């Protein structure tokens, strides 16, 4: 695996020109996370030259920034990328640091062509319409036969524009900047947002010695056991993914009542909307890694949604005011694709690509996106499947004429 210094004289790291011959153009993959690496491998397996462009100085950078206690909520066996199994020693639920080790090994094992320290700012069609022109750091202009955008679902932290936040005198940070509970020991902490990240951070704070932990909830989530009697929730997700949404919604109700206690008295009633309907809207169920017990015991207190800040205090939707020592906003991320491809009319109103995987926009043939959905069957698994489909689509496209690897 090459870094930006050692590849300074390599073709992808040097400025190129749109007039390069189509048959000499590689497929550029933007992003060195699991989706980008899997796609690069799949393209190589099709005999095509794939160049991964990673803005940081190493692969898997977003995973390195996650909080320390994070584990995959999907099983090791069903989370491997194509061409390399995850080691058994990683255990069933793979830890953050082991995910990073795996991504490093994956790039090395498959000898992927990776250029680090290169950020692509804009993608546009070449003047002759036969390929794609990438504008990147250092004035680089790279011409590719096709482009795969794999910059990730969790790209840029999103913080609501809460009124009065500037006057809050306590510590405020986004969940993307949270690493562990040590700085919050003995402190009163409010976690805002009850997705998987917010739920797990709340539990981490309790176990790490925070004096009080409150969890602000706007929309009550579906909560599922990560595993029941050895059966992983991911396996159920795989089985039902292709079923009609209303049917899965109905099936989920009795299963939830059997496996998850009623937490209405603690402020978490059962949702009144279907589980799979929520998934299709981008809201993955919360996988329980301690939240249920913490809420039942009262060590995590559920409070109303945050509406803003008043006189240095946090104002909730029920009219109450809180004075926590710290606020951690687990309020999600944006895809931040507007500058990169927004001018190509390939984004929906919510900022997500209009297509994902092997489909390419009608008005932008040869431009692909991977990793911009939240599947119920597991993100790594779907990234692996999409990688193969994207590579086959590009290989079969007679208009791409991508550079091929030596026989």
Please, what are the averages of pLDDT over each run of 10 residues along the chain (407 residues)?
38 44 85 98 97 97 94 96 98 97 98 97 93 95 97 91 93 97 98 96 98 97 93 94 95 93 96 93 92 97 97 95 97 95 96 95 96 92 97 90 77
Q: Which domains does the chain have, with CATH numbers?
A: 11-155+335-396 (3.50.50.60), 159-329 (3.50.50.60)
pLDDT of residue 12: 43
Alpha helices, DSSP H, located in 82-195 = 96-109
Distance in angstroms (rounded) separating the CA atoms of residues 131 and 402: 9
Burial 333-348 (b: 16+ CB within 10 A, else e): bebebeebbeebebbe
3-state helix vs strand vs coil in the chain, percent to 5: 30, 25, 45
Tell me the whole-structure pTM to 2 decimals: 0.91
pLDDT of residue 407: 64
| Phi, psi angles (nearest 5°) of residue 28 | -95, 130
Q: Residue 376, class by beta-carbon neighbours within 10 Å (0-12 exposed, 13-18 middle, 19+ buried)?
A: buried
pLDDT of residue 13: 43
Paired tokens of 337: 């694709």
Structural contact between residues 225 and 260, judged by C-beta atoms closer than 8 angstroms: yes
């Amino acid at each position: 695996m090459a870094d930006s210094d050692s590849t300074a004289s390599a073709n992808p790291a040097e400025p190129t020109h749109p007039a390069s011959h189509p048959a000499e153009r590689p497929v550029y993959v933007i992003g060195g996370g699991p989706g980008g690496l899997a796609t690069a491998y799949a393209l190589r397996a099709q005999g095509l030259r794939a160049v991964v462009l990673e803005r940081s100085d190493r692969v898997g950078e977003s995973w390195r920034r996650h909080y320390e206690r994070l584990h995959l909520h999907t099983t090791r066996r069903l989370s491997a990328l194509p061409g390399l199994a995850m080691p058994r020693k990683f255990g069933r639920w793979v830890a953050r640091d082991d995910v990073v080790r795996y991504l490093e090994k994956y790039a090395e094992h498959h000898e992927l062509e990776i250029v680090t320290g290169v950020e692509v700012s804009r993608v546009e069609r070449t003047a002759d319409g036969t390929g794609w022109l990438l504008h990147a750091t250092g004035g680089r202009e790279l011409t590719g036969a096709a482009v795969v955008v794999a910059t990730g679902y969790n790209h840029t932290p999103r913080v609501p524009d809460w009124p009065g936040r500037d006057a809050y005198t306590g510590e405020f940070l986004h969940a993307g900047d949270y690493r562990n509970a040590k700085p919050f020991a003995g402190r009163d902490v409010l976690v805002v947002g009850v997705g998987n990240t917010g739920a797990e951070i709340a539990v981490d704070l309790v176990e790490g010695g925070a004096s009080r932990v409150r969890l602000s909830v706007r929309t009550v989530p579906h909560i599922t056991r990560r595993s029941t009697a050895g059966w992983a929730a991911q396996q159920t997700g795989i089985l039902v993914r292709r079923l009609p949404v209303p049917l899965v919604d109905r099936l989920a109700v009795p299963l939830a009542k059997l496996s998850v206690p009623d937490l209405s008295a603690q402020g978490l009633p059962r949702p009144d909307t279907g589980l799979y309907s929520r998934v299709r809207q981008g809201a993955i169920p919360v996988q329980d890694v301690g939240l249920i017990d913490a809420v039942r015991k009262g060590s995590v207190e559920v409070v109303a949604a945050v509406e803003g800040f008043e006189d240095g205090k946090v104002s909730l939707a029920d009219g109450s005011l809180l004075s926590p020592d710290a606020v951690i906003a687990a309020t999600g991320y944006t895809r931040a694709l507007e500058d990169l491809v927004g001018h190509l009319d390939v984004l929906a109103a919510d900022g997500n690509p209009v297509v994902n995987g092997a489909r390419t926009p009608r008005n932008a043939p040869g431009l692909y996106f991977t990793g911009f959905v939240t599947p119920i069957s597991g993100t790594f698994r779907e990234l692996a499947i999409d990688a193969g489909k994207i590579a086959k689509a590009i290989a079969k496209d007679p208009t791409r004429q991508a550079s091929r690897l030596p026989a």
